[in-house]
Amino acid sequence: MAEPLRVVVTGAAGQIAYSLLYIVAKGDVFGPNQPIILHLLDIPPMMGVLEGVVMELADCALPLLHGVVPTDDPAVAFKDVTAAFLVGAMPRKQGMERKDLLSANVKIFKVQGEALDKYAKKDVKVLVVGNPANTNALICSRYAPSIPKENFTAMTRLDQNRAQAQIAAKLGVPVRQVSNLIIWGNHSSTQFPDASHALVNINGANTAVVEAIKDAAWLNSVFVETVQKRGAAVINARKMSSAMSAAKAASDHMRDWFLGTEDGRFVSMGVISDGSYCAPKDVIFSFPVTIKCGKWKIVQELGITDFARKLLDATGKELEEERQEAIQIIEA
């Protein structure tokens, strides 16, 4: 059997981690033959709760789980890790301005970037889930200069999965038959869920989703808004934010990054922008990517309509503004 991989999950006492830890520990992310050692980071007041999570992981009796390291010390949490799920973040509280949230969180991601730089493996793959995920990932990368920028990503897979589910429901087909939905830009309400390159497999043949649905108005309005506002809809119904679906999306993102995307399919990830599709450079922008041998590559030469261009520009502008605010906070 392979040597165990060390995998850190931050915010390990929180609700997303509660679903994510089980998915990771049972082998859905790194493969059915890959043992892992889980490093669980949370803040000191949560150590009691974390102890309960550790007990439950033990009680799951999972054969691939070779060890669990609960801690409130980033130096211990990030030591020798090969994969990092950065879920922990300060939640938005009542009366909190967006700037206050950004301020609290960029400071967390600065500390975690420094700890990754010092203690993690140099090829560690980092997925930031904690919001604002794209800008947190950018800050984290800036404070980990010895780790390639390509190794820092932000999660827009939940948005992609939501988009895929909406299209599948509209067409009345299982989700598996729908592919190549794209989430462009920021994981925020300015994200652009784009079905114009998506495919649906009907009776073994791929058809463009736009042809199958034949309702451009629905695709450009109801579909886009439903995906953009899905997080708020879940909060309204559940009185808590998406957790099971966020955990599933985090595991999908990391699995594809480690094990690769299927031929003919692409997925969306927030990655360091090289200016593809005229997105601003040096922000973490969600693009369609394919992945082979642990390396992602932005899918090129997809057609961009005037409608899409406007939305791409708006989400890019928001990311530039967030970057500027984050840098001001950190350098103050």
11 binds ligand NAI (CB under 6 A): yes
* Residues near ligand NAI (CB under 6 A), total: 28
At closest approach, how far in Å is the CB of 100 from ligand NAI? Answer: 14
At closest approach, how far in Å is the CB of 263 from ligand NAI? Answer: 26
Are 240 and 92 in contact by the 8 Å Cβ rule? The answer is no
Which CB, 101 or 210, lies closer to ligand NAI?
A: 101
39 counts as catalytic = no
131 binds ligand NAI (CB under 6 A): yes
33 is in an annotated binding site: no
| From 126-134, 161-169, 274-282, 305-313, span contacting ligand NAI (CB under 6 A) | 126-134
129 is in an annotated binding site: yes
Which of 35, 70, 113, 130 binds ligand NAI (CB under 6 A)? It is: 130
Integer CA distances (angstroms), 36 to 19, 22, 52, 65, 298, in order? 17, 12, 20, 5, 29
Are 212 and 200 in contact by the 8 Å Cβ rule? The answer is yes
Which of 9, 46, 209, 289 binds ligand NAI (CB under 6 A)? It is: 46
Are 30 and 83 in contact by the 8 Å Cβ rule? The answer is yes
317's enclosing H/E stretch is helix 306-331
Q: Whose CA is closest to 77, among 152, 18, 13?
A: 13
- In sequence order, the 6+-apart residues with CB closer than 8 A to the CB of 64 are 25, 26, 27, 32, 34, 35, 36
108 binds ligand NAI (CB under 6 A): yes
Which of 22, 26, 28, 91 binds ligand NAI (CB under 6 A)? It is: 91
Residue 222, CB half-sphere, CA atoms under 13 Å: how many? 8
Which CB, 105 or 179, lies closer to ligand NAI?
A: 105
Residue 21, CB half-sphere, CA atoms under 13 Å: how many? 32
Q: Using CA atoms of 126, 128, 297, 198 in order, give the dihedral in degrees to the nearest 10.
A: 140
195 binds ligand NAI (CB under 6 A): no
Question: How far apart, in whole angstroms, are the C-alpha atoms of residue 153 and residue 167?
Answer: 26
319 binds ligand NAI (CB under 6 A): no
Prior bond to 193 cis, omega within 30?
no
Which CB, 219 or 252, lies closer to ligand NAI?
A: 252
Q: Which two tokens stand for residue 49?
A: 């709760």
| From 21-29, 42-50, 58-66, 260-268, span contacting ligand NAI (CB under 6 A) | 42-50
Buried-state track 152-162, b at ≥16 Cβ within 10 A, e below 16: bbbbbbbbbbb
Residues 47-86 that bind ligand NAI (CB under 6 A): none
Catalytically annotated residue among 39, 66, 187, 253: 187
42 binds ligand NAI (CB under 6 A): yes
270 is in an annotated binding site: no
187 binds ligand NAI (CB under 6 A): yes
42 is in an annotated binding site: yes
Mode of pairing for the β-strands spanning 267-272 and 205-208: unpaired
Residues within the annotated binding site for substrate?
Answer: 92, 98, 131, 162
The residues assigned a catalytic role are 187
Residues within the annotated binding site for NAD(+)?
Answer: 42, 105, 129-131
Q: Which spans of this chain sit near ligand NAI (rule: CB under 6 A)?
A: 10-11, 13-17, 41-43, 46, 87-91, 108, 129-131, 133, 155, 158, 187, 241-243, 246
